Amino acid sequence: MAWLSPMLLGFLVLYVLNVGVEAGVGGWEPTHLEAVGCTAAVAASATSVYWLMMTVGRFLVVPLALRYSPERILTVCGAGMTGCLLLALVPGAAPVAYAGVGLFIAPVFPTGLPWLHRVLPGARRAGAWVIAASMAGGVAAPPLLGLGIEVSGIASVPVLLTVLSAAGLVVTVWLARRADAGRRDGPPVAPDLSGSGAPGRSAGRAAR
């Protein structure tokens, strides 16, 4: 699969990890909160707030996207998610911490796609591949987290999710540095995802 460039693979991994965190929090937050002393009603309400903050975050990122680059927004979001998940280890702060995760994870999906198309302008189907691959994170994360919880206990939910979030942050930083290096070295040759076998637009421009 030669058309899978390192940059595209990076975006695939980033989206799989972030959707994994999103699904993992949504699926395991109520159980974790009840395990650390919250009532069922509080746990259910806190989970609803988590989803609400995801909606709010997607509206709030719109004006920010006009002032800051996608890579900066995604880096801040990755750091914020990771910090909030660490804060969720504190039982009394866990409901608020999970709400913070929802706020920080919200901009990742809509902000990452324009960034992807900017760094791989000739990859016409890159967005579709990334969206399709990201579904794997939502499907695989809850059962995989369940296996980890069986081994280490329900209190480990924030730790396991922090590992996924921190890995996503590392991938984001790597993508930002590679994209910056590509801008300094000249326009990248994008992979052709059209299925036609023709070189990407960037390659065509380079040939001319």
4: left (phi over 0), alpha (psi -120 to 50) or beta: beta
Confidence category of residue 182, pLDDT binned at 50, 70, 90: low
Tokens at 197, concatenated: 């076998």
Of 2-6, 20-24, 47-51, where does mean pLDDT reach its minimum?
Answer: 2-6
- Written in H, E and C, the secondary structure of 174-205 is HHHHHHHHHHHHCCCCCCCCCCCCCCCHHHHH
| CATH 1.20.1250.20 assigned to 6-188 | yes
Q: Tell me, what's the pLDDT at 142?
A: 78
Q: Is the pTM of this model over 0.85?
A: no
| Domains in the chain: boundaries | 6-188
Confidence category of residue 40, pLDDT binned at 50, 70, 90: very high
Beta carbons of 52 and 171 less than 8 angstroms apart: no
Beta carbons of 95 and 46 less than 8 angstroms apart: yes
* Average pLDDT across the chain, whole number: 84
pLDDT, tens only, 71-96: 999 999 999 999 999 999 999 999 99
Confidence category of residue 118, pLDDT binned at 50, 70, 90: confident
Beta carbons of 28 and 157 less than 8 angstroms apart: yes
DSSP assignment of 120-178: STT-TTHHHHHHHHHHHHHHHHHHHHHHHHHHH-GGGHHHHHHHHHHHHHHHHHHHHHH
Confidence category of residue 127, pLDDT binned at 50, 70, 90: confident
Confidence category of residue 124, pLDDT binned at 50, 70, 90: low
More confident residue, 181 or 189: 181
Confidence category of residue 198, pLDDT binned at 50, 70, 90: very low
Counting other chains too, the contacts that 156-160 makes at CB distance below 8 Å and 24 or more residues apart are: 157/24, 157/28, 157/29, 157/31, 157/32, 157/88, 158/32, 158/85, 158/86, 158/88, 158/89, 158/94, 158/97, 159/89, 160/24
More confident residue, 199 or 172: 172
pLDDT, tens only, 187-196: 444 444 445 4
- pLDDT at position 205 over 90: no
Q: Tell me, what's the pLDDT at 132?
A: 81
Strand, coil or helix: what is 108?
A: helix
